Structure 1
Amino acid sequence: MKLYFPRMMPLNDCYMERFSDALFANLVGNGSQGGFVIFLRDAREAICPIFWQTRKIRRIVKSTLSAEALALLECAETAVYLASILHELSGSGKFKIKCFADNKSLVDALYSSRSVEDRRLRIDYCCVTRHVGARGD
């Protein structure tokens, strides 16, 4: 296996894409695992991985939805941090960050006007929606 880093356009012509996923109660002791990957993509569609991570979710969660939300939140926070570093390096404007999640229930819950039942998860949802923004952003 090898990583390929293509020739990219200048940083001000690039944006970030992030993908997150989680597994509920798949570890010893019913722990859950989350992971994500963040790519840098340019206008010519050249793509380069710049960060990836998988590990045990630091908190005990009660559902797949909770695990997915925490993985997405960690992915969002890391992407915002990396975007600020790239902004410092390039001197360009804000980096656009596109977010992808494979759990339809999570996406529906994030854009719903109804509150989730798990009170602790409500705070995480607020943080995620703050990072993600409006649908299509």
Structure 2
Amino acid sequence: MALFIDILIIVLIGVMITYAIILNSKLKTFRNAQNEMATLVGQLNDAISRAQTSVEALKGTALAEEGRLDALIRKSRPLADELTILTESGENLADRIERGLVPPGGRLNEASDDDDQEDDTVSEADVPEAENEMLAALKKVR
């Protein structure tokens, strides 16, 4: 009977040694994976740091460009207003020419009679009207 118990103990010790060898190989694999994971986490951390730096640089660039664009817009608004005034006055002048109130060059046709002197030039009533229209356009812009 002692021999049977000894053989059983030897078999159990053999199984335990085999299990320990298998467990040891699995632990080695796990440690290697853990080292790879630590390397991967370090690389990810570096990438996040670089991305954060890039985002900060992008914010700074965006703020600088915003200031530059605001300055350009401030400069362009008066020019656009002036262009609007010029366009309106040109349209008013074109309308008058079409209506015959202000002929090109400030004179009517050369074929008109000389007794119609008051029709040959721009009437004095039209001049203040034009000035009033220009003032109204300027006030509307401001």
TM interval, short-chain normalised: under 0.3
TM-score, scaled relative to structure 1: 0.26
Rg larger in structure: 2
Larger RCO: 1 or 2 (CA < 8 Å, sep 6+): 1
TM-score normalised by structure 2 residue count: 0.25
